[in-house]
Amino acid sequence: MFTVWVSRSSLGKLLDALRLDSGPPLFYLLARPFVLAAEVWALPDSLVRLLPFLAVAALALFARSLPRGAPRAWFVGLLATSALLTFYAAEARAYALLALFDLALFLLLRRPGTGWPRAAAIAACTAAALATHSLAALFVAAVGLIALLERRWRDAAAVAAGGVLFLPWAPVLLRQPPESTAWIHEPFGWSVAGFLSAFGGVGRIPPAFGPPAPSILFWAGVSVGTVSTVTLAAAARRDPELRAALAATALPLAAALAASPLRPIAFAGRTEMAVLPVWIWAVARGAAQGRLARAAASSAAVLGALALAVTVPVPRPEPSPQRVTAALEALVRPADLVVAGTAFYLPARLARDRGALRAPLAALPRELERHPGWFPLAPLSPEGYAELAATLAGRPGSSRVWLMIHPLFATQRLSDVLEARGDAREVLRTPDAVVLLWVAR
């Protein structure tokens, strides 16, 4: 929903919105043609998912970077059965594109050559990765460090040049509010387990986005990921390319874990998308070097296929904010006011921008208007109640106000605010949604 809303905005509004969010702009700029095409041709908003689907499909093209035969087949097979890659192909978010740019950058750096076209490609790929997702900074730092340790000065300089191209966005990145990622709180051990499970073909689907794989599959993935890590580390002593792939996988994840006490970054089910295709490339390369490595690769493919078989067919109902907003579009009058909080504000804002919601819209709290992409899921603050009271005080007699809120907001204090100047009745209540209709006296 955020991708659709921000991508259809003008360039100036898009950049203004991202100044108060947590990501760079490239993904949304690339998604913009898909969003606008859907609106022009009256197609579903899900057309924007075509971009991440294409990004994940393009990963298979890099099979040619592996030796002919079994390694290429392993690579394509592991891509196709990766539960996380499949999930993020369907998510209209930047992670699939990040995975594509990071793998492309890694393989560019592993190709021999010293010409300026190669250096320009490295710089461009570095800048594209950094402009796609903030996690790319960890990966770029890792591959740049590997180039320095291998004394490939020109490659390190090309990576640095790509970082320079990204510098105009750096001041915005440094000023983006830490609250936009404050929801990320995860124990160190749980993050490590999630990373290993993803390496074993399964991983963790973030809870808000769908049913997770069964616990037995998750922990089987942890076991297979652990065996693969140990096996590939032993094989890497004889293979410098494999050693570089493992370093490019481990260093960003270790940096994310180390930085999380300062600002939450590590979150199993997302963070590993910055390195997952590089890991799969390493597994495919290492599978040809021993029976145990092949067994681990086979197990990862089987577990990934099982995880997909039990999660993909599960129906995913439309989230309550979208359903409630769609219903409200047919009920509100132009003279009404709609007040929306938490996750209800963004779909209402999109409907209002498109003209489908005919009534004026207000955010609760008002600050949500500035950053619809994130919000703290917590009870309404005293300032929020004061804002709502001021909004209702300005309504003429008999005017109607619709409130779409999370049950956390439905407190006795809210009832007191509503009853002070009008009459409210509950229209809908579910475990994650409350709709109230208030009429001014």
pLDDT for 375 beyond 90 = no
Task: Report percent pLDDT > 70 for the chain.
Answer: 100
Instruction: Label the pairing between strands 433-440 and 400-405.
Output: antiparallel
Q: What is the pLDDT of residues 152-197, one digit of tens each?
A: 999 999 999 999 999 999 889 888 888 887 777 788 899 999 999 9
Contact 69, 241 (CB under 8 A): no
E strand map for 51-130: none
Amino acid of residue 202: V
Quote the radius of gyration of the chain (alpha carbons, Å). Answer: 24
Q: What is the pLDDT of residues 389-439, one digit of tens each?
A: 999 998 998 899 999 999 999 999 999 999 999 999 999 999 999 999 999
Sheet holding 433-440, edge to edge: 361-364, 337-341, 400-405, 433-440, 422-430
Q: How far is CA 71 from the centre of its chain?
A: 30
Q: DSSP string covering 309-352, please? A: HHHTTS--PPPHHHHHHHHHHTT--TT-EEEEEGGGHHHHHHHH
pLDDT for 326 beyond 80 = yes
What tokens does 266 get? 């590590």
- The continuous run of DSSP H or E covering 433 comes out as strand 433-440
Distance CA 329, CA 333 (A): 9
pLDDT for 210 beyond 80 = no
Q: What is the pLDDT of residues 53-81, one digit of tens each?
A: 999 999 999 999 999 999 999 999 999 99
pLDDT for 260 beyond 90 = no
Residue-range domains of the chain with CATH:
2-311 (no CATH), 320-440 (3.30.110.40)
Q: What is the mean pLDDT of residues 304-314?
A: 93
Distance CA 60, CA 101 (A): 13
Distance CA 210, CA 204 (A): 10
Q: What is the pTM of this model?
A: 0.93
